[in-house]
Amino acid sequence: QWIYLNGEYVTKENAKVSVYDHGFLYGDGIFEGIRVYNGNIFKCKEHLDRLYDSAKSIMLDVPLAPAEMERALVETIRKNELRDGYIRLVVSRGPGDLGLDPRRSPKAWVIIIVEQLAIYPEEAYRDGLRSVSVSQRRNIPDALNPKIKSLNYLNNILVKIQANLAGVGEAIMLNSQGYVAEGSSDNIFIVKRGVVFTPPCYCGALEGITRGAIMELCAKLGYTLKEEPFTLHDVYVADEVFFTGTAAEVIAVREVDGRIIGSGKAGPVTTHLLQEFRKIVEIDGVK
């Protein structure tokens, strides 16, 4: 396995960052999780746009132009002979003296890791996940803007820990006003009487690439899609609930906080969207 590290390819054992790296010391950096389907990078431009927007927002100079970054991604999957899998692209502020002032880190570090993906078993897509809401709250834009995909994932990790303790696959995070925001690393959708709802990003959702692809699919397939705030009550009484994410794709939820959702397995809209999503991933990509 070859890891891209600042323009060089090194083995997994030799892929090391400094203890002075500000990504390590302060979570100062950004990342992307990207899927490779059949040798194609899915939604490459969208992921790079989000990466460079996150970089601009935190005043991080990415040492590669987007076209160079795309070439580095393509070369890394080629070198690893990856047909289907997952890419983790990390840009950290880079090594610098102690002290959180980013001027101490003169050069950002770019790291690309490719992996085989351990996703949910296929029956989870039919049967749906169990889920719980958690006490952890999602930052809304008065703190770190949720659109920035930063290396500060402690909040999400605490959500994941609560999901683990409850023995469920993914948890639901609310924002400080009590509206549903997203999962620990997935966006959330609900379906009620044929209408599909997802929280707007200002409720505390990352602008997920899969979320965007599903919104486009809804339009194409003729489902009404509403981006509006909703509460846990709306989730409990929804006909269908599902999460979307690069790793999870579209995964149904069969139970939330002990309430059975709809029929108690993946509903028709979720199943339809997953089927159609799996069709587009094969064709919509960068070779």
Annotated catalytic sites, by residue?
Answer: 149
CA-based nearest residue to 92, from 78, 113, 74? 113
Q: Which is nearer to ligand PLP, 28 or 249 (CB)?
A: 249
Q: Is 76 in the site for ligand PLP (CB under 6 A)?
A: no
Q: Select the residue whose beta carbon is closest to ligand PLP and give its number.
A: 208
Q: How many CB atoms lie within 10 A of CB 253?
A: 28
Residue 182 as a binder of ligand PLP (CB under 6 A): the answer is: yes
Contact between 131 and ligand PLP by CB under 6 A: the answer reads: no
Residues paired with 112 in a beta bridge: 4, 89
Instruction: Closer to ligand PLP by CB, 105 or 244: give it.
Output: 244
Does residue 54 touch ligand PLP according to CB under 6 A?
Answer: no
CA distance 158 to 134: 9
Using CB under 6 A, which of 211, 242, 267, 274 touches ligand PLP? 211
Residue 93 or 211 having the CB closest to ligand PLP: 211
Residue 245 binds to ligand PLP (criterion: CB under 6 A): yes
Taking the CB of residue 132, how many other CB atoms lie within 10 A of it?
A: 17
> Distance (Å, rounded) from C-alpha 199 to C-alpha 209?
14
Interaction of residue 199 with ligand PLP, rule CB under 6 A: no
CA quadruple 244, 248, 249, 254: dihedral sign: negative
Please name every residue paired with 139 in a beta bridge, in sequence order, or none if there are none. none
User: What span, in angstroms and rounded, lies between the C-alpha atoms of 216 and 212?
Assistant: 6
Residue 105 vs 206, nearer CB to ligand PLP: 206
- Regarding 169 and contact with ligand PLP (CB under 6 A), the answer is no
Residue 220 structure tokens: 């194409």
Identify the CA nearest to 95 among candidates 27, 19, 26, 7.
19
Interface with ligand PLP (CB under 6 A), residue from 105, 156, 162, 175: 156
CB of 52 to ligand PLP, least distance (A): 15
Part in contact with ligand PLP (CB under 6 A); list of ranges 19-27, 118-126, 207-215, 259-267: 207-215
Task: Kindly state whether residue 218 participates in binding ligand PLP, applying the rule CB under 6 A.
Answer: no
Determine how many CB atoms are found less than 10 A away from the CB of residue 79. 14
Contact 242, 251 (CB under 8 A): yes
For ligand PLP, the closer of residues 10 and 286 by Cβ is 286
Which residues of the shown chain bind ligand PLP in the complex (CB under 6 A)? 33, 156, 182, 185-187, 206, 208-211, 244-246
